[in-house]
Chain A
Amino acid sequence: MKTKTQKIALTGVLAAQALALSFLENLLPALPFLPPGVKLGLSNIVTMFCAGSLGFTTAFCVTVIKSLFVFLTRGATAFFMSLGGGLLSTLAMCLMIKFVKNKSGYVGVAVASSVCHNFGQLAVSIIITKTTAMLSYAPVLLLSAVIMGFITGTVLKLVMPLLIKQSKHFKSL
């Protein structure tokens, strides 16, 4: 019983961290050289840590909690965009971790998941607008996914010891 409670508490803390990171990201001014709509995807760091160290269920939980928060603060359109991108990217990182294992590094997992995140959002936006006009944006999204994935993967490698230390607090209770 105790372990389950600990896991729920840890998932809650990690979900809060994912939310805080995406809030922080929104506070940053939009850089003029970035195409509109392109973001860093910092909360992906937390999801990747969950998928890699705590199990795939935790990762999906954090993704859904994050999307629900987006629904409360930014409305239905943003919710579906967040959920579509989030679920596909979490699925991608789980598949990478399960099947590619150690043949791929942090950067590989991050790039694959951010590419899938962008395509998930693209798919949702096509469904919302009922046109395929958005597809012409795909190359730009793909390029930004590679760059942002590289950044988030590197940051994950750097904060990994801290995240592991944090989860140990919950296990040694």
Chain B
Amino acid sequence: MERKLITKNDILLIVAIVLIIVISFVFKNISNENLTAEIYFDGKITDTVNLSAKEEKKIVTGENGKTIIEAKDGKIYFSSSCCKDKVCVRSGELEKNGDFASCLPEKVIVKVIGEKKEQIDAIVY
């Protein structure tokens, strides 16, 4: 395989991908009001925690029932899990809209979302 290290087309490809990244960050919902954390197990919401109210909660879930999620001071995090890779625990504390952590072996996802306000000024009949 004889080819150059990098060509003009490669640079174009990289620029296009970076543009997509920038656009997706711009369109991300960045309101940090009324944050709620949703805890999914096996594709279904099993628990929610109101982060803005600084609700404290300890949730035990997961495929083997040993994944522990803790919420404290408006933050939520995986405090321990019986999975091998511990990607979930390393994800750290979630506190902003769109923050997200998952433990795939245990089928658990934690997602932080802001309040979905319907921006309707008036309804006219």
User: Chain A residues in contact with chain B, CB under 8 A?
Assistant: 30, 36-37, 49, 52-53, 74-75, 77-78, 81, 97, 100, 102-109, 111-112, 115, 125, 128-131, 133-134, 136-139, 142-143, 145-146, 150, 153-154, 157, 160
Contact = CB atoms under 8 A, between A and B. Distances in A.
B65 interface: no
Interface of B: 1-7, 9-10, 13-14, 17-18, 20-21, 24-25, 28, 38, 40, 42-44, 84-85, 87-88, 90-92, 98, 100-102, 104-105, 107, 109, 111
A154 B4 CA distance: 10
Contact of A77 (B2, B21, B91, B105): B105
A96 B67 CA distance: 42
A136 B4 contact: no
A130 B42 contact: yes
B43 A131 contact: yes
Contacts of A107: 5-6, 10, 14
Nearest 10 Cβ contacts at the A-B interface: A130-B43, A52-B1, A108-B10, A105-B4, A107-B6, A105-B6, A105-B7, A139-B24, A36-B90, A36-B91
Contact of A125 (B4, B5, B20, B102): B102
A146 B14 contact: yes
Contacts of A37: 87
Contacts of A146: 14, 17-18
Given A133-B100, A143-B21, A74 B84 contact: yes
Contacts of B5: 105-107, 153-154, 157
B11 to A, nearest CB: 9
A108 B21 contact: no
A73 B121 CA distance: 57
Given A107-B10, A108-B9, A139 B104 contact: no
Given A75-B105, A108-B10, A153-B5, 19 more contacts: A30-B90, A36-B91, A53-B1, A74-B84, A78-B85, A97-B1, A100-B9, A104-B7, A105-B5, A105-B6, A106-B4, A112-B13, A125-B104, A130-B44, A131-B40, A133-B40, A133-B102, A138-B24, A146-B18
